[in-house]
Structure 1
Amino acid sequence: MVQQDAQQQLAELLENQLRGGSDGGGVGKYLLHRAKPHIPPWLGMGGIGLAGVIGHLKWADSVPAATGLTLTSVAITGGAYLIGKTTSKQRRLHSAITTAFGSAWLTAACLAGPTAGPMDDLYLMGGPAVALSWNVRQLMRHNPDSSGGSGGDAGLLEKIGLARAQIGTAKVEPNRVTAPLELSGGEQTNDDVAKALKLLASAADLPSRAVRYVPDPDSERRGELVIVPEDMLAETVAWVGPSNLGGSIAEPLVIGRYDDGAPLMLWLPGDPDAGRNSTHVLVAGQSGSGKGDAALNLLTEILSRRDVIVWMSDPKMFQDFGTLRPALDWAVEGGTGTEIMVKAVETAIPARTKWLGQHGYRQWSQAAAGVQNDPEHTCRNDGRACGCEGLPFLVAWMEEAANTLRALGDDAFTGIAQEARSAGIALVVSLQRPSYDQMSTSTRASLPSVVALGCDPRDEGFSLPDTVIDQGAHPGAWANRKPGYCSVVSPGIDEARYPSPGRTQQFTHRATPAMEQLAAWAQAHGAEAGPVTAGAATAVAGTHYTGRPDADEDTAASGRGRHAAATAQQPDRWDTEEDDMNGSGYEPLVDLEDEDIDPERELPPAEDGDDTPLFGMGSGHRPDPEEARRLFADALAEFEQQGQMIVGPKDFMDWCDRNNLSRPWVSARLKEAAIEGRLEATNTTGRWRIVPHPEPTLTAA
């Protein structure tokens, strides 16, 4: 198609040249217009003849003139050959022969005379032949049957090792040139172009990132060259707010701009009408590459939509995202909280897919987020609208995921990544180096979208597909020298854009007020998790899952949100009991039990029994089986009441001390409880999830 368009444009150009300035009023004008492009060689021929006549009259008997004319002839011929070095071989040779013939005849004519011997015959036969050869060459340059480029293009392609390749008519846009390229059949492939991109950038005096090649998926010898001569990303652009406040998560998320000024966008949910699949996202970049700003661009876009909730784990204690924390439906700071969240997402997947299937959705769509008033999406058997509460889109965000992967194993997200998309869940994984020694190959293969920021050149293959790197994408060239520069690969983006660099918007301290307003908007207008998602989370996390806090709640004081249980959640990290404080905000330097001791008073004399050991005298209390089951059941109920739904032997250390029980005894009871169904194994060895007891039901007497 591209080749046909180029041929049609070239044919129209030739037709316009043929018409020229002719009209119905004058054949002579038409003939003159047709002859004008071919007149210069004949004028040159006439000029050489006139110069020969004048030169003979002046220098016929001059020996110095003969020497000068001979040297000039040699210099002009050699100069023409050297000057033609930048053109094709044929044009260079043609120019050198023409110059040699003309200068030799002129020298002889000046010395011997233009009519002496065969001089006039050579002029009358050779002159028109040389002029006609240039006319023929000029005609051959306009060949409608060829999609090739000009002689200059051919010379350029020959330089970079792509001789006989043909460049079609270029499409020129603001700061972007796209030209179809056809390679020589049986001699060249698209891989040859990928290898020559750096040479092409060198020939054009451009950085390597400015030249890309997009192969035709249906051909091994056709594609498009894309050149972006000016880097429009040199200046940073500050974030001023979300692009579509109150819109749907199904609409594009704008996180920056490309180097030609076009918006940098991606989508999370799928769209069957557009042929776009739902996706998970990997955000990768080394320290200093702008990964934090890229994450903030994406997160603020997500939180500004009306039909999505976000569960987020951040082992960095929300250092970058603290302002947005009130807008999150669930936020944990790593450790056990993240372990619970991962399990909650796994539990929510079948619950959400079941709801979608019952309501006639093959995948999540905007209609699924609202109240189900459409008879086509009902769970009732009679075909009437069911009026069920909707199911918002869910984003499970794992920030600094390397920390979580070290704690839970490199396949911690594998199940989520492989199954969550059909449930209307998008997984966002952010880490510096997505190498296969940190993340399992199955998980990496299930993250089809990537925002690849600057990295070590050796790590490019961990972030981007090899095909995109071959097309000219090289985040290793930025490293941490250009924060925010990135390449984005995601469903919905034109594949020609994959190698194009973009840059995310920058978050400075001036963005804080707008981020606070966004968090307040999300508290007031954002989606609620709904009974399906909230029920799955509560079943796993207990009171650890609170839901997004209401706008008028003091979350730090109450610890409650829209879906919180009656009991307030206890702090995970900070000890806030007043007994441990002295009123100044610092822990007391002396234990309360020792504050009355006089350090200057001498110790009392030794008494009987002072040398009796305090520990190690017995093996601990060993209850009978019935008492053991009761004690352990009480312990599990205590953990469940506190909202700690994932436990292991280390969590029972204080409990063992209180009940004078040993850790081996606890390990044995954990295994028994797993067999009985009170516990369920997790992905981590030695860690178990408490299975909540079903609510009691009343039966008729």
Structure 2
Amino acid sequence: MARNSNGRRVRHTDFLDNGMVAEYTGPGLLPGESHGGGSIGAYLLHRAMPHLPPWVAAAGIGIAGGLGSLQWEQSAAAGVGLTLASVALTGATWWMGKSTTQQRRLHSAITVAAASAWTTAACLAGPAAGPLPDMYLIGAPVLALSWNIRMILRRNDDPAGQSSDKGLLEKVGLARAQIGNATVEPNRVTAPLAVEAGEQTNEDVSKALGRIASALDLPTSAVRYQPDPGSSRRGELVIVPEDMLAQAAYWEGPSNLGGSIADPLVIGRYDDGSPMYLWLPGDPKAGRNGTHVLVAGGTGSGKGETALNLQTEILSRRDVLLWLSDPKMFQDFRPLLPGIDWAAEGGTPTEVMVEAIKAVIPARTRWLGQHNYRQWVPAAAEVQNDPAHTCRTDGRACGCAGMPYLVTWMEEAASTLRNIGDNAFTGIAQEARSAGVSLIVSLQRPSFDQMSTSTRASLPSVIALGCDPRDESFSLPDTVLDAGAHPGAWGNRRPGYCYLVTPGIDETRYASPGRTWGFAPDAVSLMEVLADWAQRNGAVADPITAGAASSVAGNAYTGRTAPSHGPAGHAAMEDDDVDETGYGPLVDPEDEHIDPEAELPESQEGDDAPIFGRNSGRKPSPEEARRLFADALAEFEAAGQMVVGPKDFTDWCDRHSLSRPWVSERLKEAAMAGRLEATNATGRWRIVPAPVAA
């Protein structure tokens, strides 16, 4: 680098034809430096240096004409050669100017044509012949000054730093748009953009994003536009030249083991390498509300691994419970089951869970209100020893057990919605956030024919993975799609690629693609260790949540199982009575009362009667049938099947010679008597647990 007379480096700035700023260094003074008389000449010289090349070229043309005349004056052959060379040089200049602006191309061709024509005439007739001296003395300074003026006009004195060059923007239909000074970060360029007032809007920029990506030879997802909320013609153009997501990164464990669920969950990374954060609870200090999440993506888009990212982060926190419904029988989540507070398969168990969540929400909201919490915060999960959060009327600390946050996860929710109605989650989604409950719904296509519009509107956060291009509008808001988000471009070819829209992150990130961590086969053992940690150190259900869930689900809800010995009550079993997993007896529950050491009873009369070919037997009386029906409800309740309908009584009807219409009537009677309650699904009833004597 050049230095000034004092040995200091000096930087000068020039403006190129594409509107970019070129910086170079040379001897001179930095702005604001004082200088003595000895350095003024050097300073002025180097300020004038960018304007000298046209004058040097003009002087060179005069010298070339004088020297050429000594060799070729009055030569006819030289005249032909010089004329052809002049025409060829002018044509080459015009041809090579195709890639630049039309104005610069024409200016360059005229300059070359004029200079070569004078040089040819001077070589043949002599530089002093006829009008040639006057033409040179007038024409050469004019051409040199025209290039100086062009250089000066390229400088932009607009305080916003907008460029006047229209090269790229002219190609994409935004010729009069102005680009401000760009901010350059690692693998990310952000430039303010303003379109012509009264002629174009931010929508025109959104429509041009594909053409901009084409002009830059980048994928469509690499170019985004974030409109300014306060203007319809201004925004920021974001370009990410390199896809840093192409190389998969694998899960290495939870980001914050033992932390609070109020801390951000890290579920992957953006295309510029920064982490993807997701918050579930709200934060009154940050002005952020709690959120529900929609996970949407087509087959093969990576929903399973995205779910594992979220669930492993949730289970690694100390103050949260996870309830999971999975009609696929926990195919992807089997290693995590010991750490999950309640896991339900599809069908009736999921119906029971949905009804339990509905009962849990008002109970939790009531508790939070009694303890002066307007929304769930980490302090609500601790023992209530603060007088500011007491339910006592005398103002003293109540000492109530804390209430952990609750995450209810509905995997493959389309199956559940088909079984119990497309508005099954509407009430939950609308009411749960104030109760410290987050609902996560995962399905392939969140269209209006699968999920009610009210439910969809109540899921403010979304993880949108690859999908059919026609389904993009079901996953992402229009504003995010207009900003350049395009999950349909991935389909199932980029597993884990996604867009994240959620409170707590900058809205300019909404249209930035990210990728969740991958789960390699060797991650199973680490997930099992995490599940064991959650089983031993994670939160347990508070009395309010557990009581409300049990009041609906009965013994279908037992909470997280105790470590090492499986469900409570199995620890004292003999080794021969426990299966190889250590989690259950090898006998059917209905046979547990049988003493295997007891003598078999003597044969009774009728034991040798044929089983087949007999009459179906007598039909029970109405009183006996009602008693049998009450016993059947008790059996369902004991088995944990808390949602029933006529189809569940098929075998029972066959055994007792009763018809399904008769069962339907008894179900209605039981509902009127308070033993059953109607659910969202037609013909399905929730069993109200029978009171237990004190």
Interval of TM-score (by shorter of Structure 1 and Structure 2)? 0.7 to 0.9
**Residue 91 of structure 1 pairs with residue 91 of structure 2:** no
Distance 1:340 1:641 in 2: 14
Q: Is the 8 A contact 1:270 1:276 kept in 2?
A: yes
Aligned to 1:274: 286
What is the deviation of 1:416? 0.9
What is the deviation of 1:343? 0.5
Amino acid at match of 1:124: L
Distance 1:415 1:13 in 2: 65
Which of 651, 670, 673 does residue 676 from structure 1 map onto?
A: 673
Distance 1:684 1:474 in 2: 36
Aligned to 1:311: 323
Amino acid at match of 1:251: D
Aligned to 1:570: none
Q: Is the 8 A contact 2:256 2:317 kept in 1?
A: yes
What is the deviation of 1:165? 0.9
Q: Is the 8 A contact 1:22 1:29 kept in 2?
A: no
What is the deviation of 1:315? 1.0
**Residue 365 of structure 1 pairs with residue 369 of structure 2:** no
SS of the residue aligned with 1:331?
A: strand
Q: Is the 8 A contact 1:257 1:264 kept in 2?
A: yes
Which of 469, 475, 490 does residue 487 from structure 2 map onto?
A: 475
Residue segments in structure 2 that go unaligned for 5+ positions in a row: 1-19, 573-583, 592-607
Distance 1:399 1:383 in 2: 44
Matches within 5 A, 1:550-569: 550-555=562-567, 558=570
Matches within 5 A, 1:400-411: 400-411=412-423
Which of 639, 642, 645 does residue 636 from structure 2 map onto?
A: 639
Distance 1:379 1:234 in 2: 54
Q: TM-score, normalised by structure 2?
A: 0.87
What is the deviation of 1:438? 1.4
What is the deviation of 1:80? 2.2
Which of 265, 268, 276 does residue 253 from structure 1 map onto?
A: 265
Bigger drift between 16-25 and 499-508 goes to: 16-25
Q: Is the 8 A contact 2:256 2:316 kept in 1?
A: yes
Residue segments in structure 1 that go unaligned for 5+ positions in a row: 1-8, 561-572, 581-596, 598-608
Q: Is the 8 A contact 2:156 2:163 kept in 1?
A: no
Residues 488 and 17 from structure 1, CA distance in 2 versus in 1: closer, same or farther, beyond 3 angstroms? farther
Residues 13 and 58 from structure 1, CA distance in 2 versus in 1: closer, same or farther, beyond 3 angstroms? closer
Aligned to 2:201: 189
**Per-residue deviation, residues 474-496 of structure 1 (Å, max 9, x unmatched):** 11111121211111111111111
What is the deviation of 1:661? 3.0
What is the deviation of 1:637? 3.2
SS of the residue aligned with 1:509?
A: coil
Distance 2:284 2:588 in 1: 55
Amino acid at match of 1:529: A
SS of the residue aligned with 2:52?
A: helix
What is the deviation of 1:267? 0.7
SS of the residue aligned with 1:316?
A: coil
Bigger drift between 292-301 and 432-441 goes to: 432-441
Q: Is the 8 A contact 1:327 1:519 kept in 2?
A: yes
What is the deviation of 1:20? 9.7
Distance 2:633 2:208 in 1: 65
Aligned to 1:685: 682
Amino acid at match of 1:485: Y
**Residue 82 of structure 1 pairs with residue 95 of structure 2:** yes
Matches within 5 A, 1:382-421: 382-421=394-433
What is the deviation of 1:408? 1.1
Aligned to 1:623: 622
Q: Is the 8 A contact 1:546 1:559 kept in 2?
A: no
Q: Is the 8 A contact 1:21 1:33 kept in 2?
A: no
Q: Is the 8 A contact 1:18 1:34 kept in 2?
A: no
**Residue 67 of structure 1 pairs with residue 67 of structure 2:** no
**Residue 174 of structure 1 pairs with residue 186 of structure 2:** yes
**Per-residue deviation, residues 396-434 of structure 1 (Å, max 9, x unmatched):** 011111111111111111111111111111111111222
Amino acid at match of 2:383: V
Residues 648 and 575 from structure 1, CA distance in 2 versus in 1: closer, same or farther, beyond 3 angstroms? farther
Which of 659, 664, 668 does residue 662 from structure 1 map onto?
A: 659
Distance 1:133 1:184 in 2: 29
Residues 170 and 440 from structure 1, CA distance in 2 versus in 1: closer, same or farther, beyond 3 angstroms? same
Amino acid at match of 2:241: P
Amino acid at match of 2:638: Q
Q: Is the 8 A contact 2:213 2:220 kept in 1?
A: yes
Aligned to 2:129: 116
SS of the residue aligned with 2:236?
A: strand
Distance 1:453 1:653 in 2: 42
Which of 495, 505, 518 does residue 530 from structure 2 map onto?
A: 518
**Per-residue deviation, residues 35-83 of structure 1 (Å, max 9, x unmatched):** 1111111101101111111122222222222222222222222322232
Aligned to 1:127: 140
Aligned to 2:7: none
Distance 1:251 1:666 in 2: 51
Matches within 5 A, 1:268-307: 268-307=280-319
What is the deviation of 1:216? 0.9
**Residue 447 of structure 1 pairs with residue 468 of structure 2:** no
Distance 2:318 2:31 in 1: 61
Bigger drift between 441-450 and 66-75 goes to: 66-75
Q: Is the 8 A contact 1:485 1:501 kept in 2?
A: yes
Residues 176 and 611 from structure 1, CA distance in 2 versus in 1: closer, same or farther, beyond 3 angstroms? closer
Aligned to 1:605: none
Residues 337 and 610 from structure 1, CA distance in 2 versus in 1: closer, same or farther, beyond 3 angstroms? closer
The alignment yields a C-alpha RMSD, in angstroms, of 2.9
Distance 2:230 2:564 in 1: 58
SS of the residue aligned with 1:172?
A: strand
Residues 611 and 463 from structure 1, CA distance in 2 versus in 1: closer, same or farther, beyond 3 angstroms? closer
Distance 2:638 2:214 in 1: 68
Which of 177, 192, 200 does residue 165 from structure 1 map onto?
A: 177
**Per-residue deviation, residues 215-264 of structure 1 (Å, max 9, x unmatched):** 11111111111111111112111211000000000111001111111011
Distance 2:492 2:680 in 1: 35
Residues 651 and 168 from structure 1, CA distance in 2 versus in 1: closer, same or farther, beyond 3 angstroms? same
* Corresponding pairs, count: 644
Aligned to 2:249: 237
What is the deviation of 1:30? 2.1
Distance 2:675 2:614 in 1: 39
**Per-residue deviation, residues 460-479 of structure 1 (Å, max 9, x unmatched):** 22211122122221111111
**Residue 137 of structure 1 pairs with residue 146 of structure 2:** no
Percent of pairs identical after alignment?
Answer: 68
Q: Is the 8 A contact 2:29 2:43 kept in 1?
A: no
Residues 661 and 241 from structure 1, CA distance in 2 versus in 1: closer, same or farther, beyond 3 angstroms? same
**Residue 46 of structure 1 pairs with residue 43 of structure 2:** no
Q: Is the 8 A contact 1:622 1:661 kept in 2?
A: no
What is the deviation of 1:329? 0.4
Q: Is the 8 A contact 1:549 1:555 kept in 2?
A: yes
Q: Is the 8 A contact 2:316 2:530 kept in 1?
A: yes
SS of the residue aligned with 1:122?
A: helix
Q: Is the 8 A contact 1:19 1:30 kept in 2?
A: no
SS of the residue aligned with 2:385?
A: coil
Bigger drift between 366-375 and 461-470 goes to: 461-470
What is the deviation of 1:21? 9.0
Distance 1:169 1:198 in 2: 22
Distance 2:154 2:612 in 1: 110
Amino acid at match of 2:381: A
Which of 538, 541, 556 does residue 529 from structure 1 map onto?
A: 541
SS of the residue aligned with 2:114?
A: helix
Q: TM-score, normalised by structure 1?
A: 0.87
Q: Is the 8 A contact 2:163 2:180 kept in 1?
A: no
What is the deviation of 1:91? 2.1
Amino acid at match of 2:138: M
SS of the residue aligned with 1:193?
A: helix
What is the deviation of 1:386? 1.0
**Residue 650 of structure 1 pairs with residue 647 of structure 2:** yes
Q: Is the 8 A contact 2:670 2:676 kept in 1?
A: yes
